[in-house]
Every structure is written in structure tokens, then in C-alpha cells.
Amino acid sequence: MTVVDVAAGGNAYPVRIAAGLLDRAGELLAPYARGRIAVVSEDDVWRLWGARLAAALGSEGIEALPIVVPAGEASKNWATLGGVLDRLLALGIERSDHIVAFGGGMVGDLAGLAAALLKRGCGLIQIPTTLLAQVDSSVGGKTAVNVAAGKNLVGAFHQPDLVLIDPALLDTLPGRQLAAGYAEVVKYGLIDDADFFRWCEYEGAALLSGDPAARLHAIETSVRAKARIVGADERETTGRRALLNFGHSFAHALEAEAGYSGALLHGEAVAAGMALAMRLSVAEGLCPDEDAMRVAGHLRVMGLPTGIPGQAADRLIAHMRQDKKNKDGRITLILSRGIGQAFVTDQVPEERLRAFLRTECAGETITSPASDWRG
């Protein structure tokens, strides 16, 4: 088993990674349970894997108390959060108890926020079931729901006490979801690890086709990168953690335009957003064109969207004005000086950003299964 420690929130917590870990959940969760433990999940994950988790917990005499919400990003909202909190209260969950988030990033963010709010904060354990959640959302303590004004605009930092990553859970994940999660893997290469981006170019296809070694390498490298950045800037105050938002200013605007529907997955939006961030960096004279082309080429080969034809630049800018990274009314972006050299800036005037987006929105469709989406 690989263990990566995340130093955040005053305490370090372990991220345990190994195929088959789900079946050891009873033994690993026993120190956090008192004969029973609430498990927040969603219907597809619970149908596929709920019995395995319940059996693993049962083997140590722990009763799983499932709270199951509908699958999909549309559940990451106030109403569902309220329902989860009511259920937790009805179950008599106490502040010293732990809640298990068992699902992808949607469940992780929703259950994480419920844990942050319940009785002003109870314990949280993440058992991520998508590639995206295993490489990104289960680690680092960001929790949130989407609201009418935008993506993730209401939330809290609430670190888990334990993260259990079982790559074998990805065996049932549909290919489109794997590819979407892969966008966040590529992100770590683009932030500050050019060698890892090169690894992605060589091994990304193996990872998506289910190769266990490639999968494990991608998860371990991603979790280590995330732990390093979160450890340096837990609450995104120095700018270091904001690097994890590479591609996200655009991505969140695109997701809002898609109405948080399954038409555009978060990871797909991040892929398009990263391609845009690279091209904007080129347009600003910051980054070699060949790097932007290399990134877009790789994402496209992996079945991810890299363009935004048919979108409305003004609408995207309106969403971007709500971004949490903005300060003093200036849009803050993560741009790039080249692969592995991302940085934070508020130096792109809104009018240049608008002109860039207008050109992009008027661009040609670049076809891939995911980029059929036109908003």
C-alpha cells in the first residue's frame, strides 16, 4: 500500500492507495466508527459497489447507514445538501462521528460540505470512486455546492481525516468519465511537471484502457502533487494552490453555460479550459505556440474537447467575473510560460480576454466524442 501524507488543517492525514482497499474498509475505518457509520453516496455507485463496502464494514461489526442521492452534477446543490443534513441529523450523527463520502467528486464535495456544516463540523472520510476523485477532489479539503450565481460558490475548506483510494473501483467507470478525470491528471504536468506531461503523452492511452500500472502511477503522482501544493497553501491564500485551478476559470464558465448537466463533464470543461489557457498565454506573448499545440493535440487524442465554438464570449466573461480567485474586480487567471510552467496573473485586461474569447467562440469545431457539445 502507498501512503501519502497531506499536511493541512493543523494535522496530517493519510491518503492510502492500493487495489483491493475497498475490501479492507472495515479494518481501516474501525478507528473512526462507533459500531455504525453514515455513508453518503449516489444511486449508481451504491448499486455497483455499495454491497461490497457494507460487507467490508460489516466484517468488523460496523453497520453502514447509507444516504443515497441521485447521481450527477445536478445533485451538487442546496436542496440535496439540505436533504443530506436532515438525514444525518435524523440518524443522530454526532460531532465526533465521521461521515464517509463514497462516490466521485460530486459526492465528495456534497458530503464534504455536509460534514463541514453538521453540528459545526464533524469528521470526514473520502472513498473516491472516479478517476477524477482519486487524483484530485478527494484530497485537499475543498467542498462546495453550485448555486444560481455560479459553480462552487458556496463551500468550505474541510479536510478529511482519511482518504482510501482503491483503483480497482475504476473497473466499472465508463470511458467518457475516465477521460474526463484524465484531464485533471494532465493538469499536474502542465502546472509544474513537464516530465509527467511527457509520461502522459506516452502512457495516457494505456491508463485509459485500464492498464493497472499506468493507473497506479497516475494516481500516485497526482496525489503527491496535490498533497505538496495543498501542504504549501491550504486555503489558497498565497497563490500556490490557485495553480490547481489551471483551466478552471474557463471550465467553470462553460459548466455554468451547460447548466451543470451531463452534456459537459467537469473534466471535459477543464480540458477545454486548459487548451484555452495555453492559447491565451500564446496570444499574450508568454508561451511558445508549439507548447499550446502539443497540449491541445494530446487532449484531443485522448477524446477530450479543446475548443469552444458556438459559445458566447460575453456570457463566459460574465461567469468569469464571479470567479473566487478574482480580487478588486480584476479577473485572475492561471496562464503558462510553457508546459510545466503555470503561474497566476491578473494582468490580462478584460477587453483583451473578451477579444480572445470572441475569436475562440468563432473557431472551428474540433471533433472528438466529447467535443460534440456546443452549449
Ligand X SMILES: NC(=O)c1ccc[n+]([C@@H]2O[C@H](COP(=O)([O-])OP(=O)(O)OC[C@H]3O[C@@H](n4cnc5c(N)ncnc54)[C@H](O)[C@@H]3O)[C@@H](O)[C@H]2O)c1
Ligand Y SMILES: O=C(O)C(=O)C[C@@H](O)[C@H](O)[C@H](O)COP(=O)(O)O
248 binds, among ligand Y, ligand X, none (CB under 5 to 8 A by kind): ligand Y
β-bridge partners, 126: 101, 163
Report the DSSP pairing between strands 98-103 and 36-42: parallel
Number of residues lying near ligand X (CB under 6 A): 32
Name the E strands within 50-141. 63-69, 98-103, 123-128
Catalytic residue among 158, 226, 298, 325: 226
Given the C-alpha cell 491508463, which residue does it identify?
Answer: 207
> Shortest distance, CB of residue 132 to ligand Y, whole angstroms?
8
The answer to whether 221 contacts ligand Y (rule: CB under 6 A) is: no
The answer to whether 142 contacts ligand X (rule: CB under 6 A) is: yes
The CB-side HSE value for 3 (13 A sphere, CA atoms) comes to: 7
- Kindly state the cell numbers that stand for 184: 485533471
Of residues 144-173, which lie at the interface with ligand Y (CB under 6 A)?
A: 144, 152
Active site residue 158: no
The answer to whether 241 contacts ligand X (rule: CB under 6 A) is: no
CB of 179 closer than 8 Å to CB of 303? yes
Catalytic residue among 42, 73, 184, 257: 184
Of residues 223-242, which lie at the interface with ligand Y (CB under 6 A)?
A: 241
Nearest CB to ligand X, comparing residues 247 and 283: 247
**Rounded CA gap, 132 and 3, in Å?**
19
193 binds, among ligand Y, ligand X, none (CB under 5 to 8 A by kind): none
> What amino acid occupies position 183?
A
Number of residues lying near ligand Y (CB under 6 A): 11
Burial of 61 per CB tally in 10 Å (0-12, 13-18, 19+) = exposed
Of residues 120-139, which lie at the interface with ligand Y (CB under 6 A)?
A: 136
Is 266 within any annotated ligand binding site?
A: yes
Considering only the C-alpha atoms of the chain, give the largest distance between any 2 of them, rounded to a whole number of Å: 61
Nearest CB to ligand X, comparing residues 73 and 323: 73
CB of 162 closer than 8 Å to CB of 125? yes
Q: What angle do CA 107, 108, 109 make, to 5 degrees?
A: 95
Nearest CB to ligand X, comparing residues 200 and 251: 251
Binding track over 95-134 against ligand X, x by CB under 6 A: --------xxxxx-x-------------------xx-xx-
Q: Please select the residue that binds ligand X; options are 96, 172, 261, 347, rule is CB under 6 A.
A: 172
Q: At what angle do helices 266-283 and 350-361 cross, to 10 degrees?
A: 120
Q: How far is CA 100 from the centre of its chain?
A: 17
CB of 143 closer than 8 Å to CB of 106? no
Binding site residues, ligand Y, CB under 6 A: 136, 140, 142, 144, 152, 184, 241, 244-245, 248, 324
Name the binding residues for Zn(2+): 184, 248, 266
Active site residues: 120, 142, 184, 226, 236, 241, 245, 248, 252, 266
Binding site residues, ligand X, CB under 6 A: 42, 44-45, 48, 71-73, 76, 103-107, 109, 129-130, 132-133, 136-137, 140, 142, 152, 169, 172-173, 177, 180-181, 265-267
